[in-house]
Structure 1
């Protein structure tokens, strides 16, 4: 199970906006680049003001906005004839760069074990790379859960809200990160095995 499975319903809500953006000449690549720059800027702001937990309030807002932008750029590409080879590069690299920019500042928060947070980020990158490898071997781009991109965004959004409310990080955050690590290892295994099965069939 993954929050990603709700994507079709989310896209239906966004479709009127996507049609308006296409009409005024907004391209899929422009949306992708904007989402990446927004994520980088947010990460830098959180890092710069990490001593004030309230700054984390912006993280779930940006994560949700970025999720909407990711859906919008895909719909512009597919439904308004904006697919391009450059767009494929921007889409995949943008996701990895955005995830890293948004999650890395958490490693510098008091009470967060940096090695665990860095392991989460590394596995997030590895998970997306594994998903892309499905296409390389002739399968589809794999988005299998658990703890895919949308799931990670949800977890870190909730974590940011809890920390912004004044709850101190500690043992509970370490346990959470360990659980995320284990789930992402499963994610990678599922993506590999299902891609291989898809090619075999």
Structure 2
């Protein structure tokens, strides 16, 4: 099954001039990684508590697809800074992996504030997303490459939640349809877990 991750190479080419400019300004890969993580946490808190306590306008949830796109760009930029501008460090590798997991978890769980969302399924999805990234990293520990196999990678999940935020902003509240989609994403995440484990084992053999 195709994954949004497969578009990463073309997206990186578009971002390379920006990346080169940031490198020239002395911006490090780690600074970009931390900025993406902090931005995700702050947006998640604003959405969650704003929805529950302040009754913010649904239009505020348009920030989700916008930020998901920006964060995807930042994730590409920090990787290119590390690879192409000799900024790769052990600290950066830890920040990158932990930053992605923390950012994803915060943004996904912010949707628990929406009326009609199935919170148990949302929590299960979030846990499986963390597990899928953990398996990707464990692959390196057993001698394989970092696994990004789909069909539900980081970019695919970001696309789903971006669309969910967009739909809520324009007046389409979560309900039976969102529950069914959450179940579908969970199934795809289970397939992703199997694919990444199988690919890693096959690679070391």
TM class by shorter chain equals over 0.9
Paired position in structure 2 for 1:154: 159
Partner of 1:24: 25
Matched with 1:58 is 63
Aligned mate of 1:116, from 121, 124, 143: 121
83, 91, 97: which is aligned to 1:92? 97
Q: Which runs of 4+ in 1 moved over 6 A?
A: none
**Gap regions ≥5 residues in structure 2:** none
CA contact (8 A) 1:49 1:55 kept: no
TM-score by length of structure 2 reads: 0.96
158, 171, 192: which one pairs with 2:176?
A: 171
**How much has 1:108 moved relative to structure 2?**
2.2
Residue 182 in structure 1 maps to residue 183 in structure 2: no
Shift of 1:113: 1.1
Inter-partner Cα distance in structure 2 for 1:164 and 1:185:
29
Aligned to 1:130: 135
Give 3-state SS (helix, strand or coil) of 1:76's partner: helix
CA RMSD across the alignment: 0.7
Q: What's the CA shift string for 1:70-108, capped at 9, x where partnerless?
A: 000000000000000000000000000000111111122
CA contact (8 A) 2:65 2:165 kept: yes
Q: How many residues are treated as equivalent by the alignment?
A: 200
User: What does residue 193 of structure 1 align with?
Assistant: 198
1:77 aligns with 2:69: no
Deviations 1:105-135 (A, max 9, x none): 1122100011000011001100100110110
The whole-number CA distance in structure 1 between the counterparts of 2:81 and 2:158 is: 22
Which runs of 5 or more residues in structure 1 are unaligned? none
Contact 2:48 2:112 in 1 (8 A): no
User: 1:173-196: per-residue Cα shift (whole Å, max 9, x none)?
Assistant: 100100000000000000000000
Residue 198 of structure 1: how far off its partner (Å): 0.4
Contact 2:122 2:182 in 1 (8 A): yes
Q: Which residue of the partner structure matches residue 108 of structure 2? A: 103
Aligned partners of 1:118 and 1:55: how far apart in 2?
23
- 8 A contact 1:56–1:160 mirrored in 2: yes
